[in-house]
Structure formats: structure tokens, C-alpha cells
Structure 1
Amino acid sequence: MTDRPTVLVVEDDHDLADLYAAWLQGDHEVRIANTASEAIERFDEDVDVVLLDRRLPESSGDEVLTTIRETGSDAQVAMVSAVDPDFDIIEMGFDAYLVKPVTREELIDLVSRLLARRLYTVEVREYFALASKRAALEARKDPEALAENEEYQRLLADLDALEATLDDELGALSDEDVVAVFKSLSEED
């Protein structure tokens, strides 16, 4: 047993899963799952962060995400996938979305930010998750498609409402997290 945070890497590409594990092993306990069923089997209350591919044998990473959320766990989940985000991600319960390929620095930074977020209230974590969805969509969709999509407009409204209620709490966040969130929000449509 160790005091190091536990990261579950769910990736069907064995070499890529091993690479992610090698990048993270110095500071984290790392578990690897190559299928959806292995992911569910290896997930428990000790897991702090899940790096989850959307395309898996047997069933999708989306279904694994739903199962993880149904446990009531407060583990942070990042989708790390070659699947470009589409408007369907708005309703998904992940905390961050990273499009492959990813660098060592991107993955380590992502895990660090997700671990830091676990210290915040549910509302602040929700704010970060929504901001991540907005950033993922804005990176892959043209402004016209965003402006025309009702789900995206609701996402923006939800972000605005959360931001208004969290002013005091957001003021207490680390500069690094605030910069990461507001960088993604800085360009207005």
C-alpha cells in the first residue's frame, strides 16, 4: 500500500497503455486495463484518476464512464481518445477530454490538474468539467456550428450560471488551475 495517487489507464493499445504507465509510474500507482471489462474489474475506491479511451473492445469507453459514475466515486475521469469530440460529450460525465496523440508533458499535466481538482467542491469540479467540454468543442468545431447548436448554448449558459455562483470559491483556486480554465474561456464567440 502506498500514499501515491492511483491512476487507472484504460487503453486497448497495449503499447500505448504501457507508455502512459511508464510516464506516470514515478509519482503514481498505475493500473492498466485493455478492455472495458478489465476497466470495471480494476476500478475501485482507491482509484483517483481514470484515463479512459472511448474505443474499447467489448463495449465503449462511454459505457465504462457511465458505470464508473454509477458507483458514486469521486474519481476524476479524463477521456483520452483519438475520437474528435462532438456535441454528445456535453452530457457525458467526464472531467477532461484530451485528443490523441498526447505528449508526456500533456498527460502528466492532465493528471496533476485532475488530482488537484479533487480537493475542490463538487460545484467547482463541475465548472472545470464544463469548461473542459467547451474547450474540447471549440478546438474541433467551427464557430458557426457552435452558434447553431442548442446543447452548446445550454453549456455556455450553465458555465455562466456556475461562474456567477462560484466567484468567491474561484478566487481561492490555485493560479495554475484558474489560468488553465480561463485560457479556454478567454475567446468569446
Structure 2
Amino acid sequence: MSDPLPREIRCVLVPVGNLRLLLPNATIAEVITQSKPEPVADAPDWLLGRIAWRGWRVPLVSFTKLAGTEEGDAELSVRVAVLKALGGNPRLPFIAVLTQGFPRLTTLNAELIIPTHDGSALPPGVRAQVLVRDDVAMIPDLEWLEAELLDLLDDANLTAATESGESAEVSEPFDTED
């Protein structure tokens, strides 16, 4: 017999612009101070570049630009939430999202999450729009975002390799000694 689904789930409300992203608590790896991202060739405006984090080059996403929502108060402290990617692709284990302030922990159940979507097409990268207590929140479509980022980064690597005359390998092989 399988275990019943949990009645409550620990979540995080991540402030982005004038709204919140609603994520399971387990997806947050760390919240860090924003650093200058390394640009990605031919990237859309929502892909701000890549940041260095614990030995990884993590793509930095502006969710407000991706979803076409308001940027919010520029005076608030800007941070970066590093998220664990869900797709299991070893080339993209983490995604960074620009935030304004710190994520807020909350415990939710089905009764506390009220869908607010009116049936029109959702913005790119958004799985659902909900009301959580008094906060308007978006549930991001992380699988879609991961697939988009992998395509964009593959294209950027191919462009960079072509311009430099190198091979278009996504990852370089390890040096081995005979």
C-alpha cells in the first residue's frame, strides 16, 4: 500500500516584482547577493546571463521579464534565489532567479491555494496563477524553463564555438594521461 499524499506542503513565496513565485521549499538551494552576470550570446532579455555559484555557471533569469509582469520597486534589495532544477539534466542542475528580498516560508494545503486564472493564455514560463492567503502568486513552469534554457545555452555555446573556431561541444572531455 502506498503512503497517502501529504495534506500540507512546505512552500516558499519568492518575491519577484509586484508578485510572488510559489515553489516547494525543497527547490530553493540558496539565496545569495546578486553578482554581475556573464552575458549569454543572443539571449532574450529575460536571460540576464550566467552567474558563478559554488563552481557552477548558473543561468540567471528575470521572471518579471519572462512573464511580462511589473518590475516592482527598484529600491528593494535585489537578491538571487538559486533553484534546484527538476529535469535531472547534469548540464543544468541549477537555475537562478532574480528576487527582491528574501523568500518567505509557508505551509499550505489545497484549501489555501485559490486559482485566479481567467482561462486566457498564461505568460511563458507560468504554469498557474493563484491566490495564497493575501498574496497573488505564480507557479512557474520549471520544466518549460529548463528546456528553454538548455536550448538557449546550447545555441550560445554553438555560436561561441563557431566564432572562435573551436569544436561545438557542449562540454569538453576530461584530459586523460596515457
TM score, norm. by length of structure 2: 0.26
Between Structure 1 and Structure 2, which shows a larger proportion of strand residues?
A: 2
TM-score (norm: length of structure 1): 0.25
Structure number with greater CO (CA < 8 Å, separation at least 6) is 2
Flag the structure with larger Rg.
2
Give the structure with the higher percent helix: 1
